[in-house]
Structure formats: C-alpha cells, structure tokens
Amino acid sequence: MEKIRKLIIANVQLWKAISYVAAIFSFIICFLIIANYFQINRIDPVNTEIINNLVERLNQNPNDEALREEIREIDLLARKAYFTNQWQIRTGGYFLLIGVIIFVISIQLMNSAKKITPEVGDKDENNLFIQKTARKWVSIGGAGIVVLALLFAFLSHNKLEETFNQAIIAENSGNEELTTKVPAVEQETANPIVQEESEEVDNVQEAVEEPQTEEIETNVQEIKDIYPTAEMKANFPSFRGPGGNGIAYQKNIPESWDGPSGNNILWKASIPLQGYNSPVIWGNKVFLSGAIANKQEVYCYDANTGNLIWTAVADNIPGSPTTAPAVTGDTGHSAPTVTTDGKKVFAIYSTGDVIALDMNGKRVWAKNLGVPENHYGYSSSLYIYEDKLIIQYDHRSASKVMALSVNTGEAIWTTERNGKISWASPVLVQTNNGVEILLLTDPFLASYDAKTGKELWRIDCLFGEIGPSVAYADGIVFATNEYASLVAIKAGAQPEKLWEQYDYLSDVPSPVATDKYLFLATSYGVVVCHDAKTGELLWEQEFQEGFYSSPILVDNKIYLIDKKGVTHIFKPDKEYVSIGKASLGEGVVSTPGFADGRIYIRTDKNLYCIGK
C-alpha cells in the first residue's frame, strides 16, 4: 500500500500532464462528435428529397439511362455517408469515454497524492446572518415563482376545460342537428310543391346543409353494410359473439387442453362473485359480472395475465330496490352477460340495475329500469348497436324492447311487445333492411329495426317459458323451446314457417346455424344437426353429460361445453366428425368467449384462459 502511495505522490507532475492531455483530447473529440452530429442530421437517409425528385424525373422519362445511373450513385453515396457517420460518432463516443476516464483517473490520483490540508475558516459565518439572508432569498424566490406562474397563467389563459365542454356540446348538437336534418331533407323531396314555394329561402339553407347530410348518409351506408363491424368481429363483445348469433370470427383456436394438469391453460383466475354469465373480450381485457343478493359487480381481467385489473361495484343506483328480487339458484342475480363497444362496458342485474363503465372501470352512468317481475330471475344479455344499448325487458307487468344511449343512458327508443316473460337474449343480424333485432317470446318471434325500434314483422310460433335465443343464417331464423318445437322461419315482411321438428328440443342452450345446417344441443346431452333448408335430421349424437352452455361456431369448428366442463369440438358438417375433446375438470354452464388463439371459459368460481 505504502509503495503505491509513494509512487502516486512521486509522479504528481506526470498525472498532471496526463490529465491535461486527456482533457484536450476529450475536448477535441467532443467537438468533432458535435460537428458530426449536425452533419448526420443533414443527410438523414429517410428524407432524401434529392433522390425522390430524381426518381420522379426518371418516371417521367423512363429511358434516361444516365439519370438512372445517377440515382444509383447518389443512393449509394447517401447510404454510405449515413452509416459511416454513425460509425464515426460511435467510435468517437468510445474515444471520448476513454479520454474522460483517463482524465478523471489522473485528476483523482493527483487529488489523492495531495495531503489533506484542512482549512480552518478564518472568518466567522454568523448563523443569524445566514438565516436572515436565506429567508430573504426564499421569500424572493417564492414570490418570483408565484408572480411568474400567475403571469404565465393569465397570459395564456384559455379556459381549457370550458372550451372542451363547449366543444362537446357543439359536437353533440352538431350531430343531433344533422341526424334530424336527414328526414327533413327527405321530406322536402317528397313535397316538391312546398319546396318550390320557399325555394329562395331554402336554397341558402341547402347550400349549407347539403354537404353535411351527404356525409351522414355515407356514414350510415358504411355502418349499414357491415354488422357486426370489423372491430366487433376482431373481438368478442357480447354473449354468443358479436350480434349474439353464436358465431365468432377468431382463428387458431386450441383444440386440446387439460384443466387438472394445466396443459394449454394459460392462466386461471378466481371470480369473486358468482354469475351464470359469459366472459366477453375486447382487446387485452376480459369482462364479466357477478352478483349476489346485495352486491353487484363487474370485473375486468388482463387477457394476457389473468390479473384482475379492476372491480366495479354497481351500487347507489337511484331507483334500485333495497332488497333484490327472489331468484332461483340456477339463474342467480347476474345471468345476463355484459357487453362492450371498446369504449364502455355495460352490465345488467336481476334488480333491473343497468350500469355503464368506462374501460378503466369508472362509472359513466347507471340507472334502474324498474325491478323485473320474473320468477326465475332476469337473464337476457345486453347488445350494442352503434350508440345504442339494446335491452330485452319482457317481464310479467311489462314487455318491451328498448335502446338506451351508450353515452348517457337516456332511452333512444322503446317498443312495447305485449308478450309474456322471456329469458332469451336478442340476436342482432344484418339483413337487406339494415340491422334487425330478433326477439323470441311466448307466443311469437318478432323483428325490430335496430335504428328506430320499429317492429318490422312478427309471427306466432312457440309457447312456454322460453330460454334459448334464436339462430340466424341466410335469411332463416331458427327458434326452439322445450315442449314446443324447433321451427325455421323465413325472415321478412311476410314471415313464413319453412319447417318444424319435434324430436329434440332445447330448454337452455341456443342453437347455431350455418347457411346449410342447424346445430342444436340439449340439456339432456343430445346434439343434433338438421338441414337448414328442409329440416331433415342429418345426425344425432348422444353424450354422457347434458349442455347448458351454447355451441359457438368459430374457426370453422363448433365448440360445445357440457355441464361437467368437457368441451366437444366437431365439424359443422352433415356428418358428425369429432375434432377433439378437452376437459377442464370443473363444471361449466356459461358459454365460452374467444380471442385469437384463445378460449375464455367461466366456471362457477374461476375464469380460465386456454391457449398456447
């Protein structure tokens, strides 16, 4: 140790010299790097305007070989310059680092060679003086900050929040004005005489209105043409998929897994409160709800990790009953599945409470629709069409279907139905007339225009306590109920029964249909396939367990989970071809949700994510 010390002390001059050299070296390198940096910015290869212009010129005279050569040369040069420059900066950086390190080491050595020469301060610093000066400057500093901040604030004062709120109002009223204008314009064309009379006045108005209305109409056209929308198809936004028709549009769905051993089970998360509803998936989030008599909740899980991201409680809702209505054990307080449009999530409970939450679980609005008089418990799931939340609300004292604004919860339209209680969920499908809502109750099947709520058609066909929702394919609606029948109805202004079957009927699972076939699962374990057009029974397959969960057609396969949690995967074909069978090891009554490469299954207590 002592030797090293001596060595260090002996060579102080050397260290000093080294430190000077290193400092000058670092300084020069630093200067060069900075110069290089500005150069590199000049020859950014991404924005080589010169080359772009030359190529443009070449396109105009494609036979100019000289120009072609020139471009190639410049391109090569530019790329070379760019990469060389980067290399230079990087190498320069290393040199600089080495220079600085040497500088610091030599100075540190120099310092350590110095004896500590403690200085005894000769002038007394008076504590009072220090405190006084510090107080003075703290005060001046604080006052300065306040003055500057206020000055800035008043100079740039633009009432941001107010501006935003006004903009929202302007935006909303703008939309409303436009939507009300559409029929107004139609009327004008219908009454040409009136128009002529007030032509002069209208001309001015029209000039203003026309472009806007056109825009709206094209918008409407676009939406009309795609339901479910691409966005909905990319997700799994509601019970039985987008529109609730039992079809999901995801790919690469796993065909084998095993619950007990965890094979292909990505994660498993426990669900705090019980509910016989199904998971819905949007982006990286999985939503579902749960409720007991005095507690209603919505849950959001991370689709990738299974972490419970948030829990929202639906309480303190005006009009909500103090005691929840009596429900049976196999329906529960939270049978309806939630739905989402990617911006908000909506849930409904046995109490008639509807809640809208944003994607972070913050409440947007909540209201009570009046307690449904339903001896098993309310069970119809929610759907969204554009900005409307569609709710089937058939109970003993009232039977109606309604659309609430997703943004405010205000009713946009309400249509009376005068049917009996129904436990079926709406199915939204695209037809030539736009988007129709298909609703089944005792004793009829009816269709409503999703935009206005107008009843388009209805046909008497079934009776009893109706549980299964309908299936729709190629203009045919398939409806079924236990003890009644399975019936195929040609949709349209003049609906007609195409065929009827009585052999195998369902009381819980809903059917699923392709253009050619109809598939139906029953609660006693038989799955059948009918020809969609003729009703001919093509095959029947008996399983050990019954089904409560509805079959979903996805990735050209049908996934159907029995009450014991065994999933049967088969082809949607005229013969029964099993593709696979996988067990979860836990009973399942909910319908699964799908994402690309994944299946989400809810059991009594847990949520499973299946995937590779």
Partner 1 sequence: MKKKIAIIFLLTIISLQIYNSFAVQRFPKPEFESGHTQPPTITPDPRSHALAVLDVFVLAAALTVVTWLVLKKRSRNGVFWMSVFAVLYFGFFREGCVCSVGSLQNVTLALFNPEYSIPITVTAFFVLPIVYTLFFGRTFCAGVCPLGTIQDIFALRPLPIKTWLEKVLGIIPFIYLGLAILYAATSTDFVICRYDPFIGFFRLDATFMMFAIGGIMLLIGVFIARPYCRFLCPYGALLNLVSRFSKKHLTITPTECIQCRLCENSCPFEAIDKPVLLKEKEERPIAVRRFLMYTIIIPVLILIGGFTGSQFHENLASANSKVRLANELINETNFGETEKEAFEITAFKASGQTKTELYTEAAKITKQFYYGGWMLGGFIGLVFGLTLVSLTIFRYKEDYTPNKGSCLSCARCVDYCPVLPENKIELNKSI
Partner 2 sequence: MAKKEKKKGLPASLPNRQGRKAGLNRRDFIDKGFRFSIAVGLIGIVGSLFKKSQAKEYVWQLDPSKCTHCGRCATSCVLTPSAVKCFHVYDMCGYCDLCGGYFRPSSKNLTTAAENQLCPTSAIERKFIEEPFFEYHIIEDLCIGCAKCVKGCGAFGNGSLQLQVNHRLCVNCNECAIARDCPADAYQRVSIDDPYLFAGFEQKKEG
- CA-CA distance, 555 to 567, in Å (whole number)? 15
Q: Quick check: 168 binds partner 1 (CB under 8 A)?
A: yes
Paired tokens of 386: 């554009």
* Cβ distance to partner 2 smaller for residue 95 or 457: 95
Residue 107 near which of partner 2, partner 1, none (CB within 5-8 Å, type-dependent): partner 1
Binders in 287-316 for partner 2, by CB under 8 A: 304-305, 307
Work out how close the CB of 61 gets to partner 1 at its nearest, in angstroms, rounded to a whole number.
21
Paired tokens of 287: 């939503």
The one among 8, 25, 43, 48 contacting partner 2 by CB under 8 A:
48
Q: What is the DSSP string of 577-590?
A: -EEEEEE-SS---S
Q: Quick check: 27 binds partner 1 (CB under 8 A)?
A: no
- CA-CA distance, 401 to 437, in Å (whole number)? 9
Paired tokens of 467: 């549980």
Specify the DSSP element, H or E, that contains 289: strand 285-292
Q: Quick check: 46 binds partner 1 (CB under 8 A)?
A: no
Work out how close the CB of 496 gets to partner 1 at its nearest, in angstroms, rounded to a whole number.
36
Q: Quick check: 359 binds partner 2 (CB under 8 A)?
A: no
Q: Quick check: 191 binds partner 2 (CB under 8 A)?
A: no
Specify the DSSP element, H or E, that contains 140: helix 127-155
Burial of 43 by CB count in 10 Å (0-12 exposed, 13-18 middle, 19+ buried)? middle
Residues linked to residue 489 through DSSP beta bridges, in sequence order: 477, 497
Q: Quick check: 164 binds partner 1 (CB under 8 A)?
A: yes
Q: Quick check: 154 binds partner 1 (CB under 8 A)?
A: yes
Residue 108 near which of partner 1, partner 2, none (CB within 5-8 Å, type-dependent): partner 1
Paired tokens of 28: 């020069």
Work out how close the CB of 6 gets to partner 1 at its nearest, in angstroms, rounded to a whole number.
12
Paired tokens of 412: 């946009």
Work out how close the CB of 126 gets to partner 1 at its nearest, in angstroms, rounded to a whole number.
6
Q: Quick check: 32 binds partner 2 (CB under 8 A)?
A: no
* Cβ distance to partner 2 smaller for residue 70 or 202: 70
Binders in 314-343 for partner 1, by CB under 8 A: 343
Of the candidates 322, 318, 284, 280, the one whose C-alpha atom is nearest the C-alpha of residue 298 is 280
Q: Quick check: 251 binds partner 2 (CB under 8 A)?
A: yes
- CA-CA distance, 295 to 314, in Å (whole number)? 8
Residue 581 near which of partner 2, partner 1, none (CB within 5-8 Å, type-dependent): none
Q: Quick check: 125 binds partner 1 (CB under 8 A)?
A: yes
Work out how close the CB of 134 gets to partner 1 at its nearest, in angstroms, rounded to a whole number.
4
CA atoms within 13 A on the CB side of 378: 29
Contacts of 97 (CB under 8 A, 6+ apart): none
The number of residues making up the chain comes to 612
Work out how close the CB of 76 gets to partner 2 at its nearest, in angstroms, rounded to a whole number.
7
Q: Quick check: 66 binds partner 2 (CB under 8 A)?
A: no
Q: Quick check: 82 binds partner 2 (CB under 8 A)?
A: yes
* Cβ distance to partner 1 smaller for residue 235 or 392: 235
Work out how close the CB of 312 gets to partner 2 at its nearest, in angstroms, rounded to a whole number.
15
Work out how close the CB of 222 gets to partner 2 at its nearest, in angstroms, rounded to a whole number.
19
Give the 3-state DSSP-derived string for 192-215, with helices as H, strands as E and coil as C: HHHHHHCHHHHHHHHHHHHHHHHH
- Report CA torsion sign: 501, 504, 509, 514: negative
Work out how close the CB of 300 gets to partner 2 at its nearest, in angstroms, rounded to a whole number.
13
Residues linked to residue 297 through DSSP beta bridges, in sequence order: 290, 313
- CA-CA distance, 352 to 11, in Å (whole number)? 89
Q: Quick check: 52 binds partner 1 (CB under 8 A)?
A: no
* Cβ distance to partner 1 smaller for residue 99 or 467: 99
- Report CA torsion sign: 139, 143, 145, 146: positive
Task: Answer yes or no: are the C-beta atoms of 601 and 592 closer than 8 Å.
Answer: yes
The window from 79-87, 194-202, 339-347, 554-562 that contacts partner 2 (CB under 8 A) reads: 79-87
Other C-beta atoms lying within 10 Å of the C-beta of residue 74: 14
* Cβ distance to partner 2 smaller for residue 60 or 158: 60
What does the longest C-alpha to C-alpha distance in the chain come to?
Answer: 114
Residue 84 near which of partner 1, partner 2, none (CB within 5-8 Å, type-dependent): none
The window from 74-82, 152-160, 411-419, 595-603 that contacts partner 1 (CB under 8 A) reads: 152-160
Residue 164 near which of partner 1, partner 2, none (CB within 5-8 Å, type-dependent): partner 1
Q: Quick check: 118 binds partner 1 (CB under 8 A)?
A: yes
Beta strands in 395-470 (DSSP E): 399-405, 411-416, 427-431, 434-440, 444-449, 455-460
- CA-CA distance, 259 to 257, in Å (whole number)? 7
Work out how close the CB of 22 gets to partner 1 at its nearest, in angstroms, rounded to a whole number.
12
Q: Quick check: 68 binds partner 2 (CB under 8 A)?
A: yes
* Cβ distance to partner 2 smaller for residue 122 or 575: 122
Of the candidates 238, 501, 186, the one whose C-alpha atom is nearest the C-alpha of residue 344 is 238
Laid out side by side, the sheet with 557-561 consists of 552-554, 557-561, 566-570, 578-583
Q: Quick check: 112 binds partner 1 (CB under 8 A)?
A: yes
Residues linked to residue 583 through DSSP beta bridges, in sequence order: 258, 566
Residue 142 near which of partner 1, partner 2, none (CB within 5-8 Å, type-dependent): partner 1
- CA-CA distance, 266 to 572, in Å (whole number)? 27
Mapped onto helix, strand or coil, the DSSP state of residue 533 is coil
The one among 167, 190, 313, 326 contacting partner 1 by CB under 8 A:
167
Other C-beta atoms lying within 10 Å of the C-beta of residue 440: 29
The residues that touch partner 2, with contacts defined as CB under 8 A, are 45-46, 48, 54-55, 58-59, 62, 68, 71-72, 75-76, 79, 82-83, 86, 89, 120, 122, 251-252, 304-305, 307, 596-597, 612
The residues that touch partner 1, with contacts defined as CB under 8 A, are 30, 37, 90, 93-94, 97, 104, 107-108, 111-112, 115-116, 118-121, 125-128, 130-131, 133-135, 137-139, 141-142, 145-146, 149-150, 152-154, 156-161, 163-165, 167-168, 171-172, 175, 222, 229-231, 307, 309-310, 343, 360-361, 407
